[in-house]
Amino acid sequence: MAQKVNITIDQGSTFSTTYTINDSDGAPINLSVYTAAAQMRKAYSSSNSTVFTVTANSTGIILMSMSANATGNLTSGRYVYDIELTSTANGNVTRMIEGIVTVTPQVTK
């Protein structure tokens, strides 16, 4: 089951956040054997999506980011997102993180 984490993105600002994934003993999981992907949508059923840049490394860290230009193109409001990892060994997909994205409106343009 995916961990639920809500995030806030300031429209027009560079966005970056990290997640650390550990095993049941608290040790970091080697994520270098996975490819990572993340998207946000206005609703779960929306056909349009916005893609995050995502990397995962051997120390269990997932880095998710979006450029200031990309966040500037977002409409302020509420969205949903998730991060999925795909095993390079067998193609299994695991949803690791999911939640609500709140995009706050930009004043300075």
pLDDT one-digit tens code per residue, 70-97: 999 999 999 999 999 999 999 999 999 9
Q: Which residues contact 1 (CB under 8 A, 6 or more apart)?
A: none
Q: Which domains does the chain have, with CATH numbers?
A: 3-104 (2.60.40.10)
Residue 1 is predicted with a pLDDT of 78
Residue identified by tokens 């300075």 is: 108
* Ranges of residues in the chain whose predicted pLDDT is under 70: none
